[in-house]
Structure 1
Amino acid sequence: RERDDKVVIIFITAAPQYAISGYEVRALSYLLKPLPWFAFSQELKKSIGMVRSNVDDSMLIDTGKGQMRLNLADILYLESIRHTIVIHTLDGKLSINGTLKDMEAKLADYHFFRSNSCYLVNLRHVTGMADQDCIMSNDERLRVSRPRKKAFLTALTDYMGGGMG
């Protein structure tokens, strides 16, 4: 739980007294041995379904100190500074190794758009445009390069017009 808030935990044990521990870590279920195969397979299907529904809106990042799950909705934008990606979130900044190009590929289906060579912007947090800048929900202004402006506006319009997912 400390490492990943969304991980699915299932307790399988012969000792019912540990059920309380299951509640403490928000376990999906608590199964007692001996466990029939059918009950186990149903539980597995349920947990896979939960994992699939969670995958859509988060990603695992390597912070150098270990892995961490990050909600995509909490990301305002990603910024490339030399060989580092700075992820600007609602809670602050995180730095990871990598390239904006790789992150752009990873986040292609999640309404992130490359506004210029330095920024990958979460369209969910764009509240408007002013000249060459997009205005973010935290009132920051990020430059949209001239060659990308038309495509950026199209992506933003599509997102606001019903591409919201």
Structure 2
Amino acid sequence: MVRVAIVDNAPACQTILTGLCRRYEAEQGRALDVTVFDDGDAFVASYTPDWDVIIIDVDLGGIDGLGVMRRIREVDDAVEAILVSLTDEYAVGGYEINAMSYILKPPSYEVFAHDMTRCLDGRRACERRTIQVISGGRTRRVRLDEIIYVDSVKHRTILHTMLGNMQIVCSIIRFEERLIELDHAFVRANSGYLVNLAHVTAVAEHEAIMSNGDRLPISRPRRAAFKQAFASYVNAGRRSGRAGEPS
């Protein structure tokens, strides 16, 4: 079942948006578990990255909808977002928080249904490209293509991502098992480094050069296998027209 959060402080708008969800559910045959929130701060405070779609009013009073989504993006870059507003003056902000769409009130069913379908289709694809981790006492959802590499130092596992580094509660061995189930682009460079081949810009004799400029040593026993894996990845990317791009 698809979990949908409606965040709007106006009862009339809550009713309209809930009604649109129920009509979509009936006409499209896609079960929606809809929960309504009337306070953006409370929604952020209780947020866990297991929502599929957030439908949020830009003008909530207090913290606005864009501010709510900025804070949500700190822990969940995968949830789909639909912004709703009485005016289009905040539409540019939708790009900043990676919203799927921006709908003017009152929304028509046709526009709503089109954008909800885009969200759900995008969500299915995104589920194959994200992984949940525990970091800083919170559950976070991380996109696989944003992980540059993983390292393990003194029993600490660190994710080096495009958005910064985070220490996670998981051994590198177990994390490697989880990653390989989702994406075969992750390969060991040595016992302490797990590398995303999508972020390897070059392979020298003894090291891999990463997209963030880090140079990671490749151990002698893994050198031939690593170079072969990288060459296969690059060739596959060339055949699909995506060589050099994150997976």
Structure 2 length normalisation: TM-score? 0.52
- Give the match for residue 58 of structure 1: 130
Query: Letter of the aligned partner of 2:19 in structure 1?
Result: L
- Give the match for residue 39 of structure 1: 27
Matched, 1:129 2:124: no
List alignment gaps of at least 5 residues for structure 1.
Answer: 1-6, 21-29
Which residue among 170, 185, 195 is the counterpart of 1:98?
A: 170
Q: CA deviation at 1:54?
A: 1.0
- Give the match for residue 9 of structure 1: 4
Which residue among 201, 206, 216 is the counterpart of 1:142?
A: 216
Query: Letter of the aligned partner of 2:188 in structure 1?
Result: R
1:83 and 1:98 in contact (8 A); partners too: no
Q: CA deviation at 1:39?
A: 3.0
Count, aligned residues: 149
1:76 and 1:90 in contact (8 A); partners too: yes
Q: CA deviation at 1:9?
A: 2.5
CA RMSD of aligned residues (A): 3.1
Give the distance between the partners of 2:197 and 2:141, measured in 1 at CA. Answer: 20
List alignment gaps of at least 5 residues for structure 2.
Answer: 33-115
Query: Letter of the aligned partner of 1:84 in structure 2?
Result: R
Q: CA deviation at 1:159?
A: 0.9
- Give the match for residue 104 of structure 2: none
Percent of aligned pairs with the same amino acid: 31
Give the direction of change, closer, same or farther, for the CA distance of 1:34–1:144 in structure 2 (3 Å limit): closer
Q: CA deviation at 1:10?
A: 5.2
Which residue among 8, 14, 31 is the counterpart of 1:18?
A: 14
1:83 and 1:97 in contact (8 A); partners too: no
Structure 1 length normalisation: TM-score? 0.75
